[in-house]
Structure 1
Amino acid sequence: MEDREQVEEALVDTKEGINEHEHDNKIRYNNETKNDITSGGGGGNSFLYLSALTSNLLMISCSTNFTWTSPMLKILTNSDPVINPLGTPITPLQQSWFTSLFGLGAVFGPIFFGKLADIIGRKKLLMLLAIPNIAGFSILAVASDIRVYCLVRFVLGAVTGVVYAILPIYLTEISELGNRGMLGSFMSVFSNLGILLVFVIGPYLSVKQLSICCAVPTLLFAIFFGIFIPESPVYLVTKGDRAEATKSLMKLRQRSSRHVEAELHLITKNVEKQTEVGTVGDLFKERSLRRALFICFTLPVFQQISGLQVVNSFLGPILDSTKTGLSTYTSTVIIGIVRMFVVVTATALIDRVGRKVLLLVSTLGCFLTLTLLGMYFHLDKSEVFDIESFSWLPVISLTFFMAFFNVGLVGIPFLLPSELFPPKFKSLGSSLVSFSSFGFYFLVVMSYPIISHWYGIELCFWMFSGGTLLGVVFIYFMVPETKGKTYNDIKKFLEK
């Protein structure tokens, strides 16, 4: 209702200067545009979905970094210099740094470059990020020094951290109210597409070949996004460029200037209420902002201590340590396909079921599957039971773990800042989420090889299951439902 009232105000303002004999036509126009804005439907929005799909080509490349190490670790730990471009196998300590530095880079990327989105624009920043992404994969293709590998992984992590901070903002700002959740969840779909790509082709390729393949989606992104896709209309309004904002909306909505005027006026009114630039200190001045900050910083912690990135980075070695009847390649492909199917389904449901329900199902499912995995590795280590009769358990548990994770935890934490924060804090809020998420990514992935070596892999999975159980409690009591709600509706809830 709040959104309808705002739209009514916008439409009343657009009536000024209309002659008396145009009154009936104007009323009919107002009713049409009001339905367009509030329903998120009305008109052809095929170009809007095309814009979201094109922008997410960059996400495919970035997400390949999560699983790039899984097939490549077998090569880099090989003693054959013909196979291993480094010449000698890397040590366990080098494995820890090699896999985790990506997360450390993703921590610092948003801190130093996230605010550029408010200075040069969402589109320009995303285009600039394509350059180091392509360069990084090109260097990995020809490098022969582990130090170079580590440095490049850090840089690619910085790029990915900024992408995860800025792309949700762009997708939210070009979306309509009725499809905001779906467009925001496209990130999860394309992220899993990149992960599946590595699972499928990685075991058959050399370091050089896989690195080149990972760079191709970014190259396609730079071409098509740069030429055909417009800048965010919200950003253009904040810069006072109403003419370009109108063109952007016309292109995204595939409507005439007359039919986007009401929406543009509503965007302008919302931006005018938030003219100043938000700082970290400002986040602590209001109860709603403090709670939004707490939610957006804490939820990614539970996302990472679920151990997903450990599974992504070490899936091959984890499966190798089990006694399943399936090959590691077959198992990884099955897991990748199932997680892809689940995330597509969750994307279709997010604007129907809601964010909170999907998060609860996601964390509870992860808790159960991780507990089973810990139990399997404990029984395998104890040698008390004949574990071969449960050889199917690791693949089934990992498959369902990936499936449950992709129901909600994979993407919703990155979507929430664009819904919980007002415009002046969106970039800052998204950067803080990336900082939290990738900071714990680094800590978890860095510590996994050490803990599993000294205390056993079963302890790691039980720690992960405990973390997700705490996540269930946190989400139930603290996270609001944002489906179909305006910022004012969400703010009222956060102030309670």
Structure 2
Amino acid sequence: MHYGWTSPSLPKLLQNDSHIPITNEEGSWIAVMLLIGDLCGSILGGLALDRIGRKYVILLTSIPFIISWIMIAYARSVTIIMIARYLAGISDGLIWCSIPIYYGEIADPKIRGLLVSAAFVAWNFGMLVINVLGSYLSIDDTAWISLVFPVLLLLAFPFLPESPYYLIMKGKVNDARVNLMIFKGINNVEDELNRLKETVEEQNNNTGKFLDLFTVKSNRRALYIMMGSRGVQQFSGIIALIFHTQAIFKEAGGSVSPVTVSIIYCCIQLVLSGVCSVIVDKTGRKLLMMISIIGTGIALLTEGVYLCIKNTTDIDVSKYSLIPVLSIITWVIMFALGLQTIPVTLLGEIFPTNVKAFAVSFSDIYFAVIITIVSKFYQVTKDKFGMHVPFFVFAGCCVLGLLFVLFYLPETKGKTLEEIQEELKREKDEKNDLRLSERFKALDNV
């Protein structure tokens, strides 16, 4: 809801009769302040995950969320809104450090993709709710209603079990056994418990350090996979659409009001993210990513061409006013089909337990930096060169992303976390064997 808040709220704040007058520059900083707070939250998440546990990190996120909505409700200055957005960003950083790990560790491999993707269904539901509330209610009333959700988190989440992986890491084997019984729905969990104990013991023989992300080859490959997939996800320009939905629809033109189209967009994204969560464990991550990138790239290119003709030529495009709306809707559909959920699903799958906290913290910092760059890039290029320019750039990034997925992204469908680690290490060993074989052949030739 905090991510989607700017779409209906910034146009109101930018109006001449706004109760908090702001400039376009201040509006862009209000949008990205969430991401700056995200950086701080990501660092705190990396430090806290292995100390207080996945469960309590998720629970603690409710506090800054509650404070931020109250501040927005009472805000009468730009400074207060920016501080509120920053606090919400801290919670956002914490939540996206902890959620992928928590879901990845509690889920059976057959439904892991479904469970992680379900987080995005809830995320899109929040986007829809805030666009509806923010479009038809005042900023103050919207904030008070939005306050209900973090309060529910604070009241309900204490009753959920902690991750068995974390409990075993802390030597609480009996607690892990009890929680496994809850998650599995059966009483005999000794085989599963022993497997987890062996895995955690093996991965924690050498205490994980932050530098292990870069010095251990299998971790380094996992890091490349994470950075590539998150980079493709954000350089498709989706954050610009999230922050400026109504402004983009208004610029694109069309016979339907920007408010109505933005709500339709959120509904479609919600439905498609639900579809993706159902099929991701059946079709596989790689295929869905490829389909999603191709469709997203075509939609972005179409939108860019339309805006370029509309803004830089004298050609009358009024007869084709549905094209930009359909292009953006297609963009949303194809993005939700794979790009939205799969990179975070992979994040919970590809790192071993001894560096997982560091990995998700680094991932969220990297993510916040990227979306800050993309958001400011969109704002600057749109203002200086026209809205068609960032759309062309985003489409070009999709081409590069397709090459990355095609040649580098692994398939993790239906595999346990242990099998995924073995595959990452095995590929490293196979490459080493190939290099040795080539060297022996060269020696034979000599």
Superposed pair shares fold, TM > 0.5: yes
Once the two structures are overlaid, the 10-residue window that deviates more, 380-389 or 349-358, is 380-389
Partner residue, 2:199: 270
Partner residue, 1:239: 170
* Structure 2 residue runs without a partner (length 5+): 432-446
Contact 2:45 2:98 in 1 (8 A): no
Contact 1:102 1:157 in 2 (8 A): yes
How far the C-alpha of 1:488 sits from its partner, in A, is 3.8
Q: Tell me, yes or no, if structure 1 residue 181 matches structure 2 residue 113.
A: yes
Partner residue, 1:391: 321
Matched ranges for 1:453-464 at <5 A: 453-464=383-394
Q: Tell me, yes or no, if structure 1 residue 370 matches structure 2 residue 300.
A: yes
Q: Once superposed, what is the RMSD of the aligned Cα atoms?
A: 1.4
How far the C-alpha of 1:156 sits from its partner, in A, is 1.0
Q: 1:367 to 1:237 in 2, by over 3 A?
A: same
Once the two structures are overlaid, the 10-residue window that deviates more, 163-172 or 204-213, is 204-213
How far the C-alpha of 1:312 sits from its partner, in A, is 0.8
How far the C-alpha of 1:362 sits from its partner, in A, is 1.2
Give the Cα–Cα distance (whole angstroms) in 2 for the partners of residues 316 and 67 of structure 1: 11
Matched ranges for 1:36-435 at <5 A: 64-80=1-17, 84-86=18-20, 88=21, 90-226=22-158, 228-256=159-187, 259-275=188-204, 276-435=206-365
How far the C-alpha of 1:235 sits from its partner, in A, is 0.6
Q: Deviations over 1:292-333 (max 9, x none)?
A: 111212321221111111111111111112331111122112
Contact 1:297 1:432 in 2 (8 A): no
Q: Deviations over 1:344-392 (max 9, x none)?
A: 1111011111111111111111110000110111011123322111100
Q: 1:134 to 1:368 in 2, by over 3 A?
A: same
Contact 1:138 1:211 in 2 (8 A): yes
Contact 2:225 2:408 in 1 (8 A): yes
Amino acid at match of 1:378: C
Per the normalisation by structure 1, the TM-score is 0.83
Contact 2:31 2:243 in 1 (8 A): yes
Give the Cα–Cα distance (whole angstroms) in 1 for the partners of residues 45 and 377 of structure 2: 27
Once the two structures are overlaid, the 10-residue window that deviates more, 461-470 or 440-449, is 440-449
**What is the percent sequence identity of the aligned residues?**
31
Give the Cα–Cα distance (whole angstroms) in 1 for the partners of residues 38 and 114 of structure 2: 25
Contact 2:45 2:97 in 1 (8 A): no
Give the Cα–Cα distance (whole angstroms) in 2 for the partners of residues 452 and 277 of structure 1: 48
Give the Cα–Cα distance (whole angstroms) in 2 for the partners of residues 364 and 158 of structure 1: 33
Amino acid at match of 1:310: A
Contact 1:143 1:149 in 2 (8 A): yes
Give the SS at the match of 1:177. Answer: coil
Give the Cα–Cα distance (whole angstroms) in 1 for the partners of residues 145 and 308 of structure 2: 38
Q: Deviations over 1:246-278 (max 9, x none)?
A: 11111222222xx11111111111111122432
Amino acid at match of 2:240: V
Q: 1:71 to 1:295 in 2, by over 3 A?
A: same
Q: Tell me, yes or no, if structure 1 residue 491 matches structure 2 residue 424.
A: yes
Give the Cα–Cα distance (whole angstroms) in 2 for the partners of residues 476 and 298 of structure 1: 12
Give the Cα–Cα distance (whole angstroms) in 1 for the partners of residues 421 and 232 of structure 2: 27
Matched ranges for 1:444-483 at <5 A: 444-483=374-413
How far the C-alpha of 1:68 sits from its partner, in A, is 0.3
Contact 1:103 1:438 in 2 (8 A): yes
Amino acid at match of 2:8: P
Contact 2:64 2:90 in 1 (8 A): no
Q: Where do 4+ consecutive residues of structure 1 move more than 4 Å?
A: none
Amino acid at match of 1:403: I
Give the Cα–Cα distance (whole angstroms) in 1 for the partners of residues 209 and 410 of structure 2: 24
Give the Cα–Cα distance (whole angstroms) in 2 for the partners of residues 190 and 490 of structure 1: 32
Contact 2:72 2:140 in 1 (8 A): yes
Give the Cα–Cα distance (whole angstroms) in 2 for the partners of residues 213 and 490 of structure 1: 47
How many residues of Structure 1 are paired with residues of Structure 2 in the alignment? 425
How far the C-alpha of 1:476 sits from its partner, in A, is 0.9
Amino acid at match of 1:491: L
Give the Cα–Cα distance (whole angstroms) in 1 for the partners of residues 369 and 194 of structure 2: 39
Give the Cα–Cα distance (whole angstroms) in 2 for the partners of residues 290 and 146 of structure 1: 42
Contact 1:296 1:416 in 2 (8 A): yes
Amino acid at match of 1:154: Y
Give the SS at the match of 1:114. Answer: helix
Amino acid at match of 2:288: L
Q: Deviations over 1:126-183 (max 9, x none)?
A: 1111111111111111111101111221221121022112101001111112111111
Give the Cα–Cα distance (whole angstroms) in 2 for the partners of residues 214 and 413 of structure 1: 28
Q: Deviations over 1:407-440 (max 9, x none)?
A: 1111221221221111111111112221121211
